[in-house]
A and B are shown apart, each in its own frame.
Chain A
């Protein structure tokens, strides 16, 4: 191991994401002065094909045996750069990631000088660790060819059917007494105007008919153990506990409609939500003789009123319901009071025009002056502020329909804890990467689809269901997964066999065995070890080494953070 350490450093501009704040050329100059660094360069996007080619050719040209990339987060891009190193013949664990975007340019946007200094420090720390990296070999383990899909709404059923048709067993878990999710409440679907119930019925029939799908109704997830390939999901199925072994898990728990209590005189009768309207349309539960005017109000509770986000589906939903009313009851006045209007793509645009043609009237209000609903002499009046006229237009309404956003189910938090996957700021499940891994969680073997991930219409939910199934198929079809060799190992020379490591290991991956007569030593079962490293920080003789996060690597990083070591 007397090989000379030759480190290549690649600093990413990330377009303007990093380069717009951090002085990237200065960081490159600095990096090239660091000990062991034989090559430093900058790339517009290190993760682009040119960037990756640059890494590969530099490894060959400069005979690099360590690579440091300073760009975004290892949570999304580490595997890509490791694979690139591997392609160039370098052991992927001789790669070190430095995060100068999420930890630097994005959070110190107004302090470019400090951000540049910090970027230099972070690169120095990364180089210090890289110099101490060791080549590691990946481990492989088997995958149980079964999937668990949580939530039997439209996206969950789509994912389940897709996986079952690919030949895998699927356990589809639904907390309600029947499948269907939000779709059960809908009347007709845009842009085809087909009946939601008929559409749903086909899917449910296909799910029920499929021999490889087991549908668990009135069931909730109680516990989840294990890891990709070998999950154990404990269910409460109508009061009976049941354990399912599975290789992958798909989260498709859906969302619910926000309840606008206390807003816009909401009462569930004369002021109702779009879903309540659909329910009434479905059951023909409206006395049209008494309804002359319907006013729909968009963005209720959304876009800063209660939640911050735009629910994105309510515009099309309102347009659809307004058009359906107008088509069946042309004599009824239908208004949509809106701020922006989302009818993207050709089909939706044509649908919007059809609604206009059918006589639906659109009134725009500024977001700062949302409509007000008031009661006057037993009548409902909606005041919609007209920007050009600069005055409130009072509309006497017999029915007010509030377009409210989809919000996360309250039990999602519990599930996120069980699965150890994150929720974002808006409480929806949070994907590993919005563009690169849109249906994966950062945790291997767990995927997501449908409105659990954020507001989506039926088409998008279905597309995402297929996407999640296709991602989940990768480990299922391969039959094995490679797991990271980031595991602990015991130095038997130093170990005294006290067993404290065994007592702290959550996976039973380390145990004390008799290696000789009267000589006990701790041993690690590599495939069981998940790499937390608690055994290492507990070992009384400091005899346990945590690969890739070893004491000497962490100490080198920490010392480099506070001391400068320039060649």
Chain B
């Protein structure tokens, strides 16, 4: 078995064809990568990427067409934002974001593909096998599956280029700040939700997750409002909460 496991999601039109050309031309590269063909890099859902890490991938590579070359015109631009979103979530879950790598490779870049494979493989080998707290990555998966981050990852381009409903165009700096805040909030909320698989009080969660109790309470109130969390019991006048049964397709079986 190889020391590190890498999964590659390659778009059918450019990067997968580039990998084929590497083969036809016999350009050698390390045998760590397992390739999955998708029609477009824009298809690669952050949920699937994070799930791959959760199941033991040490690195994930996404290969699409060069800007302007996308067979579907703009799929690769969307892919870029989705990958960035997944990287932010990895960071929250304390997994090195550079374990997830996006690259544009054309159908004629067989030699370059093999070079990129070697470089990425070296990088992952240097990082070593991935380590993480299962619940942390599970929370990242849940956050990636929830609507807020999905809207943001998809709308980011529009907000940066065209502007919002009121015609306000965001600068990259503003966007980054906004994303940092929202990604953290979403991640924290999902961590709390997962903690509440077992009955817990605000204080207990706050100490386990190293968060301020008032922040935990605010998240729990939100979760209660979304009907995801109920009060389980009152323990010495302290409410103890519990999550309703999670039923998220494809993430937790």
Contact = CB atoms under 8 A, between A and B. Distances in A.
A and B interact: yes
Interface stretch (A48-56, A87-95, A291-299, A499-507): A499-507
A75 B20 contact: yes
B199 to A, nearest CB: 29
B78 interface: yes
B191 interface: no
Interface residues of B, number: 66
B146 to A, nearest CB: 8
Interface in B1-39: 1-2, 5, 7, 9, 12-13, 16-17, 19-31, 34-39
Given A422-B107, A506-B73, A532-B75, A118 B147 contact: no
Contacts of A423: 107-108
Contacts of B69: 417, 420
Contacts of B23: 73, 101-103, 106-107
B51 A506 contact: no
Contacts of A74: 37
B3 to A, nearest CB: 11
Interface string A550-564: 011011011101110
B63 interface: no
Given A500-B151, A537-B43, A562-B55, A125 B36 contact: yes
Nearest to B49: A558
A104 B154 CA distance: 35
A538 B44 CA distance: 10
A540 B151 contact: yes
A27 B145 CA distance: 36
A563 B110 contact: no
A309 to B, nearest CB: 12
B245 to A, nearest CB: 18
B19 A103 contact: yes
A417 B73 CA distance: 11
Given A111-B31, A540-B150, A542-B145, A559 B26 contact: no
Contacts of A107: 22-23, 26-29, 31, 114
Given A101-B23, A117-B1, A422-B106, A531 B39 contact: yes
Interface of A: 73-75, 99, 101-104, 106-111, 114-115, 117-118, 121-122, 125, 417, 420, 422-425, 427, 430, 442-443, 486, 498, 500, 503-504, 506, 530-534, 536-542, 546, 549, 551-552, 554-555, 557-559, 561-563
Contact of A558 (B12, B55, B75, B154): B55
Given A420-B71, A506-B72, A561-B5, A554 B57 contact: no
Given A541-B147, A562-B7, A422 B31 contact: no
B28 to A, nearest CB: 6
Interface in B106-144: 106-108, 110-111, 114
Nearest to A106: B23
13 contacts: A74-B37, A102-B24, A103-B19, A104-B31, A106-B24, A108-B29, A111-B31, A422-B17, A425-B110, A442-B13, A503-B155, A530-B71, A534-B72
Nearest to A428: B108
Given A425-B111, A534-B72, A561-B34, 7 more contacts: A118-B34, A486-B39, A532-B42, A542-B45, A555-B250, A559-B55, A561-B5
B155 A500 contact: yes
Q: Which of A111, A125, A551 has the most B CB atoms < 10 Å from its CB?
A: A551
Nearest to B81: A538
B193 interface: no
Contacts of A109: 26, 28
Contacts of A530: 71-72
A413 to B, nearest CB: 9
A546 B36 contact: no
Nearest to B157: A504
B175 interface: no
A542 B249 contact: yes
A125 B55 CA distance: 14
A22 to B, nearest CB: 11
Interface in B71-108: 71-75, 78, 82, 106-108
A122 B32 CA distance: 11
A557 B9 CA distance: 11
Nearest to A103: B35
A551 to B, nearest CB: 5
B239 interface: no
A108 B29 CA distance: 7
B159 interface: no
Per CB-CB distance, the 5 closest pairs between chain A and chain B, nearest first, are A102-B23, A533-B43, A422-B107, A534-B42, A540-B147
B178 to A, nearest CB: 17
